[in-house]
Amino acid sequence: MAILDRIDGPGDLAGLSLEECKQLAAEIREFLIAEVSKTGGHLGPNLGVVELTIALHRTFESPKDPIVFDTGHQSYVHKLLTGRKDFSRLRSSDGLAGYPQRGESEHDIVESSHASSSLSWADGISRAFARTGQPDRFVIAVVGDGALTGGMTWEALNNITDDNSRNLVIVMNDNGRSYAPTIGGMARFLNSVRVTGGYRDLQEGSERLFGRFGAPGRTVYRATRGAMRGFVSRASGNQDLYSNLDIKYVGPVDGHDLPALEEAMRQAKGYGRPTLVHVITEKGRGYAPAENDVADQFHSVGQIDPGSGEPLEVSSGRSWTGVFRQRILQLARENDRIIGITAAMLKPTGLDALAEAFPERVIDVGIAEQHAVTSAAGLAYGGMHPVVAIYATFMNRAFDQLLMDVALHRAGVTFVLDRAGITGPDGASHNGVWDLATLQVVPGIRISAPRDEERLSELLAEAVAVDDGPTVIRYPKGAVGDALPALRRTEDGTDVLREDPAREDGTRDVLLVGVGPMARVAGEAAELLAAQGVSATVIDPRWVVPVAESVVEFARGHRLLVSIEDGIRVGGIGTRIRQALRDAGVDTAVSELGTPDEFPPHASRGELLEAAGLTAERIAADVVEQVRGNRIPVARPE
């Protein structure tokens, strides 16, 4: 019987011998490679934390001792050890989530999959335990070295070290990477600690980073494979940058050496005060295709061949990200003021080609979206035109900087929001459905949503030509699809995609306003409506904020306006259009379609669109019901 089959909860780990634990680690890796290759998911990060997760659950008592995973994409091993072994529908509807989820298990604490927040969570939980008389409970935060590039981590450390009376253990999983290799001075320093050859150098190097971490006589663990060895050194007495952080330090320790890991965890547990355990791990450990992948070590994969690591499905057509990748490079060749900014997502956002061609014109700030946006404002003041490429969901983190640093100062900064709208399998934290509702309240902002490849190319060129305020281009994940040509374009830039003949009184039944890729759904709905005798016009405003005058004028001649967006309905573009019509005295009825004001669960994009009623069939049926039910007054065209 496989050892993994005997593990139904963390308590089952206690009686295992060292050899059985090693066998369990091997079985877990085999399981992950076999299962994640079928479904897709975060393979590399989980292969790197197998021994670490086993050691955590053997040392601490979850859920009494809550384990908080920063980001959470490395929690697959944790799920296995807490009894969740059905990975057949990982990241699919009704299957396991790709991140911790409280509804799955009492062992899952934090569901948010945004980086650099774990230490703040751990700080708050440990303070609550202290104030409610629970001194026997520990809080463990597992944070990657990539998260150290985020300012929130350092804000939390500053407060954690202000109170040394709590049972809080910070496990720094140092693999030299976030999505890609970690950047910046912090990364360079950790790398020097990671690769140094002498124990004294390891000890003193770590102390230079974290300051005085306790009394003399600390143990430093070898960051190489093999048995644990100790070395006792004197306190360095360094008064460097972090010398005022009064936190115990253990490490560096080999993150794939179980005895070393467990000894380090026991030491941290015994101190009775906030302690940092520095663990060196290898992303993709034990899987040759991942270990040999220099780019991202299989950070996230689709369906792959488990033997070769090659993808089973080759994407048909060009991706939105691929179109942006090519177009931004073309524009940068024409305009040397363009400079790219990424927050640790160079390749996923499509800035890698620009970085290869013009390495001095792309800045990777690490997982530091707030800094990225305010730095962009500074670059604009200095005469550059920054293009901040970021996932739509992560734009939420830098709203204040967009509002007060970019917009207030009328800085010419372009924001390119990848994975906007419904993205699907990664779940609530990664679905980018909030950008249209939140960003449109920023004074002076211009927001565009391309419907196809050609529109993305032209809108990006228009955006980088704006130097008196922020511009936004947002598009979803996946393939662009076929081109959607326009019948004509109005003087203010609205594309007319379909225009059925008007009635004798000059009106038409319904005006369908498609936002970005939802223009395709609008066109399909119009076809269904025509078959039922309902006349329709389909338009794509291209720039959805501010509302174009042509959109208002089109609305005058229609009985009903239906806005269709794959963003949250509350406060979305439909709401903006309704306000514009009201201001203009146009009484055309408005139906605003979008996603509900809920956190979208993990499921496919198609499933989530269907659940939100954003399919051509559902839209057409609703329009017919409204028009034929005489619930829509006839507009009075002027």
pLDDT at 14: 92
Whether 426 has a binding-site annotation, put simply, is no
Catalytic residue among 248, 327, 397, 455: 397
Q: Is 78 annotated as a binding residue?
A: no
25 is in an annotated binding site: no
Q: Is 360 annotated as a binding residue?
A: no
Look-up of token digits 């739509």: 392
pLDDT tens digits along 204-257: 444 444 443 333 333 334 333 322 233 222 223 322 333 456 688 888 899 999
Residue ranges, the chain, pLDDT below 50: 194-243, 633-638
Catalytic residue at 369? Answer: yes
H/E segment holding residue 356: helix 352-357
**pLDDT at residue 581, as a whole number:** 97
Per DSSP, the three-state class of 562 is strand
* Domains present along the chain, CATH in parentheses: 4-291 (3.40.50.970), 320-474 (3.40.50.970), 492-628 (3.40.50.920)
Residue 190's φ and ψ, nearest 5 degrees, are -60, -35
The pLDDT of residue 114 is 80
Options 79, 84, 166, 283, the catalytic residue = 283
| pLDDT at residue number 225 | 31
What local confidence, expressed as pLDDT, does residue 133 receive?
A: 92
In 525-563, which positions are buried (b, 16+ CB within 10 angstroms) versus exposed (e)?
bbebbeeeebbbbbbbbbbbbebbebbbbbbbbbbbbbb
By three-state DSSP, how is residue 167 classified? Answer: coil
Q: Quick one: pLDDT at residue 429?
A: 77
Tell me: is residue 113 an annotated ligand-binding position: yes
Six token digits for residue 120: 């703040």
Q: What is the pLDDT of residues 95-140, one digit of tens each?
A: 888 888 888 999 999 888 888 888 888 898 999 999 899 999 999 9
Q: What is the pTM of this model?
A: 0.83
Is 256 known as a binding-site position?
Answer: no
Contact 543, 577 (CB under 8 A): no
Residue of 369, 453, 524, 565 marked active site: 369
Annotated active-site residue 397? The verdict is yes
- What does the pLDDT read at residue 294? 62
Q: Is 287 annotated as a binding residue?
A: yes
**What is the predicted pLDDT for the residue at 96?**
87
Active site residue 248: no
Return the pLDDT at 271.
86
